[in-house]
Amino acid sequence: MTEPLPTGADEAAASKLSGRRRYHPLALAGRAVAPLPGAIALFGEHVLLLVRALAWLFRRPFRLRLFLDQMEFIGVGSLPIIMLVGFFTGAVTALQAILALSLFEQQRYVGFGVGISLARELAPVFTALMVTARAGSGMATEIASMRITEQVDALTTFAVNPVQYLVTPRLVASCLMLPVLCMGFNVVGLVGLYVVAIISYHIDLGQVLALFRWGVDPIDYAQGLIKAFFFGLTMATCACYQGLSVRGGAKEVGLATTRAVVSTSVAVLVLDYFLIQVMNVLFPYGGA
Amino acid sequence: MPGDRQTRDERWQIRIADLHKAFAAQQVLRGVNLDIERGKINIIIGGSGQGKSVLMKHLMGLLSPDRGHIYVDGQDIIGLSDVAIAKVQRKFGMVFQYAALFDSLNVVENIAFPLIERYRLPKKEVLARVRDLLERLDLAKVPGIEQKFPAELSGGMRKRVGLARALIDRPEILLYDEPTTGLDPIATKNVDQMIRRTADEFGVTSVVISHDMASTFRIADRIAMLYDGVIVASGERSQVMSAPHPVLKEFVETSGTVRFAGGLS
């Protein structure tokens, strides 16, 4: 027998002592699924925001300048960092591929290996993650600050819909600019490959090129670009959602930014898995 | 009394009847009844968390109540469609607590924002109206003001630009959300003068929510006190002060402005 608790009210402490109730399977199952309704609701709210932003795209007034501003911020602004990361991604992947291929004395396959990795996976995912770190966090911070300084309320008082004014341009710009940046990443990644494979490892350029052209199809690039498009959609939705739902002060703005970056990064990787499954059905792999 | 009209409809621009609002389990407004007089400075005072901002957001149509009515010029604005409410909103100009200027737009773009969003006016006319307002609010003499961004302005200037933005569409009613919060005594006095001058010069009905008793005594025509979700006292300044509600009395006494109150002892 356990001692009765002095207060007799603390159920958690009571179950800890009795030991039998702690492992009740239903209670355990209940605790395991407890966060689920919240997660589903959160997902639903993201989808709702996305749908509303898309619906506002087709309603007057059309503010072209807002779209161009965002395209500049997301696209042109992210270009340097994408170039830098793209170069080193290509170079590092080439280094590791050469190491692995040298086991079989088949280093000439490096062009094919790095090319296809960049096109299908590395370029879209790394582009999405880098743009999230730079532009996604910026979006969340900007909208969150506008929210707490009542600028979003001010928009409403002038009969301007905040979703149309703030979310729609960012959504469209992200969807359009991410594939462009992804393509830039690919090009610069191949430059990194060239520097490592041809210049420092003296692998024959003709063979590398021939195997690259044999193994990498335009459809591989198309898949990467389609993925980048959906990653852009995800990033803008997550970032704008976190920005708009902030309440409080400077601390909450920081938290919203953190949540935006984390949720986008996770969402991009999870979505990547499902997109690959869809792509495998749509474009059966017939490369190598 | 000057400006006192014969018919009640002429006199009261806004009538709030039995307004209730709760957030989750928290009852914020518990039956607010209040009349706002046309062309006067109507000040709603109350402590923090008594529902002043919530009341103001209802006036602007930013929140909808659980129960009750708000009549603007005799028209009930509760339950109107988005289009109809946007039409009513044009009668209002809102001066936010910290101005709420758009960071990404310069002074001219900020002031012109309501015009550009609501109408298709030629650029020249918009600019002319912006410049006219800058002139009338003593902002024109600040060098390079037109191209400045909100971050480059002082707190007082930001407030005046916010007022200009609220005035550009020639509203009938101006709402001020705690206009003197966070200002030093001299800046407070300037804002008070600005509210008085705007009311006189533009002939607008002013609704000010505030907890600053000193400025209330300086400029109020009418005073209403919001306490615990209801209006506990309202009327002409002298009338309210001649027999103050106990809460109002305490508010005045602790704010150290008894000598301004006149008649309160």
- Choose the closest CB to A157 out of B89, B102, B104: B89
> CA angle, A153 as apex, A150 and A155 as ends, to 5°?
115
**What are the φ and ψ backbone dihedral angles of B74, each rounded to 5 degrees?**
85, -10
| Domain extents in chain B | 103-170
Q: What percent of chain B has pLDDT over 90?
A: 31
Chain A: residue whose CA lies nearest to B89: A157
Using the structure block, give the residue that is written with the tokens 């006292």: B233
B101–A160 CB contact, under 8 Å = no
User: Where is B70: in which H helix or E strand?
Assistant: strand B67-72
- Other C-beta atoms closer than 10 Å to the C-beta of B262 total 12
A150–B113 CB contact, under 8 Å = no
| Both structure tokens of A256 | 């919203």
Q: Is A61 on the interface with B (CB under 8 A)?
A: yes
- pLDDT in tens for each of the 288 residues of chain A? 444 444 444 555 555 555 555 678 888 888 888 888 889 999 999 999 999 999 999 988 889 999 999 999 999 999 999 999 999 999 999 999 999 999 999 999 999 999 999 999 999 999 999 999 999 999 999 999 999 999 998 998 888 899 999 999 999 999 999 999 999 999 999 999 999 999 999 999 999 999 999 999 999 999 999 999 999 999 999 999 999 999 888 999 999 999 999 999 999 999 999 999 999 998 886 543
Q: CA-to-CA distance for B166 and B135, rounded, in angstroms?
A: 15
ipTM, two decimals, is: 0.81
Q: Is B94 on the interface with A (CB under 8 A)?
A: yes
Per-window interface: A 215-254 vs B, CB < 8 A: none
DSSP string, B155-220: HHHHHHHHHHHHHTT--SEEEEESTTTT--HHHHHHHHHHHHHHHHHH--EEEEEE--HHHHHHH-
| Both structure tokens of B20 | 């209730």
Mutate to test the interface with B, among A62, A146, A158 (most CBs of B within 10 A): A158
| Domain extents in chain A | 61-282
Q: What is the pLDDT of residue A17?
A: 55
B60 min Cα distance to partner chain A (Å): 7
Q: Is A207 on the interface with B (CB under 8 A)?
A: no
A8 min Cα distance to partner chain B (Å): 28
Q: Is B86 on the interface with A (CB under 8 A)?
A: yes
- A/B interface, count of CB pairs below 8 Å: 41
Query: pTM of the predicted model, to two decimals?
Result: 0.83
Q: Which region, left, alpha or beta, applies to residue B144 given φ > 0 means left and ψ of -120 to 50 means alpha?
A: left
Contact yes or no for A114/A97 (Cβ under 8 A): yes
Chain B: residue whose CA lies nearest to A66: B104
Is the pLDDT reported for residue B253 higher than 70? yes
Q: What percent of chain A has pLDDT over 90?
A: 77
A124-153 per-position pLDDT tens digit:
999 999 999 999 999 999 999 999 999 998
**Contacts of residue B57 in chain A, CB cutoff 8 Å?**
153
- Choose the closest CB to A150 out of B89, B96, B117: B96
> CA angle, B21 as apex, B16 and B23 as ends, to 5°?
155
- Choose the closest CB to A154 out of B92, B100, B118: B100
